[in-house]
Amino acid sequence: MAGSGEFVVGLDLGGTFLKYALGTLKGEIYHKGKKPSKGEESKEAIFGVIFEAIDECIAIAKENGGSVVAMGLGSPGAVHFDLGKLMGNTPNLPDWGDADVKGTIEQKYNIPIWADNDANVMTLAESRQGAAKGCEQVIAITLGTGIGGGIMVNNQIYRGTNYAGAELGHVSIDYNGRPCNCGGTGCVEQYASAPSMVRNFVEKLTKNSTPVPENVTTKTIFEMAAKGDKDALDTIDETCVTLGSALASIVNIFNPQMIVIGGGVADAGEEFMKQIFNVVKKRAISPALKGLKLVKAQLGNDAGMIGAMSLAAEMYEMKK
């Protein structure tokens, strides 16, 4: 039962789907849903989908004798946390750019909502209910098309002065290295993201005049490595060295309790996690390694909506 009938809604907006959940302030989920997010359409169309999800959750809260007291939303892109507004472009949601999440939703529902970047929301979810439950200093990274990051210090998400911090994919591992889309040089995203892994692998095959299989993905690489393919194994080794090197610097900076790795590439499994951690252990300073754990994210695709629920619940309790 929800304590005093108070419910929260967590919304996880992506380019393809909006995932959402209704739950208690303590994080128990009453109801989950998923709708096409209309990410390619107008801001109004996307808000329309969000409204449908909220309406559904409010109705279910009512059926359960309660009401929605706060909402949270995780979104791709940079989010001005105090204003609840998107800042600048959002890849995959071309018209979502400067969406006023807080203004639009609070005006319609008169229920407070907090919006945050999706990597921050995932970090919050893993720290409250997932792999890093109970930890106050957590580094989370997502390995996918890009490398995203979230930082929890002293039990709170760290966002930076202009909400532009925690860009852990843009930690440089080589000051003379590959140019990055961000304008930087040698960013780890250029070495250890999914497309970079594929590029590294294809380069090796081409160099050896080995035929390149069609539609290579990181899954292909891990499958071929499992069969002992040397190029695939070397590609994975290099990914671990480059990612581990960036993480070692991050460990020397934060001395965290836990590193959580999520995103599609992390599904490669425990052996991959172990291999990354071995590089970190070899490269970071020993006092900062004491007690450190490196683990795979636990909440998978639910992390966004769970984190958005946690955000809503925590901000609601704080402002009360």
Binding site for a copy of itself (CB under 8 A): 78, 87-88, 136-137, 149, 151, 153-154, 156, 158-168, 170-176, 182-186, 241-242, 245-246, 248-250, 252-257, 282-288, 290-291
* Nearest approach, Cβ of residue 272 and a copy of itself (Å): 18
Instruction: Give the residue with the Cβ less far from a copy of itself, 241 or 261.
Output: 241
Give the tokens for residue 262. Answer: 């999520």
Give the tokens for residue 193. Answer: 């993201």
> Taking a C-beta distance cutoff of 8 angstroms, is the pair 218, 208 a contact?
no
* Nearest approach, Cβ of residue 319 and a copy of itself (Å): 17
Torsion angles phi and psi, residue 24, rounded to 5:
-90, 170
Residue recorded with tokens 């909402």? 71
Residue recorded with tokens 């994210």? 297
Instruction: Give the residue with the Cβ less far from a copy of itself, 2 or 171.
Output: 171
Instruction: Give the residue with the Cβ less far from a copy of itself, 50 or 246.
Output: 246
Instruction: Give the residue with the Cβ less far from a copy of itself, 258 or 306.
Output: 258
Q: Give buried/exposed letters for 224-256 (b at 16+ CB in 10 A, else e).
A: bbeeebebbeebbebbbbbbbbbbbbbbeebbb
The gap from C-alpha 106 to its chain's centroid, in whole angstroms, comes to 25
Give the contacts of 234 (CB within 8 A, at least 6 positions apart): 204
Instruction: Give the residue with the Cβ less far from a copy of itself, 65 or 175.
Output: 175
* Nearest approach, Cβ of residue 199 and a copy of itself (Å): 17
Instruction: Give the residue with the Cβ less far from a copy of itself, 30 or 163.
Output: 163
* Nearest approach, Cβ of residue 75 and a copy of itself (Å): 15
* Nearest approach, Cβ of residue 125 and a copy of itself (Å): 21
Torsion angles phi and psi, residue 249, rounded to 5:
-60, -45
Instruction: Give the residue with the Cβ less far from a copy of itself, 126 or 302.
Output: 126
Q: How far apart are the first and last CA of the chain?
A: 21
* Nearest approach, Cβ of residue 286 and a copy of itself (Å): 7
Pairing of strands 156-157, 147-153: antiparallel
Residue recorded with tokens 């959402």? 20
Strand partners of residue 79: 86
* Nearest approach, Cβ of residue 121 and a copy of itself (Å): 18
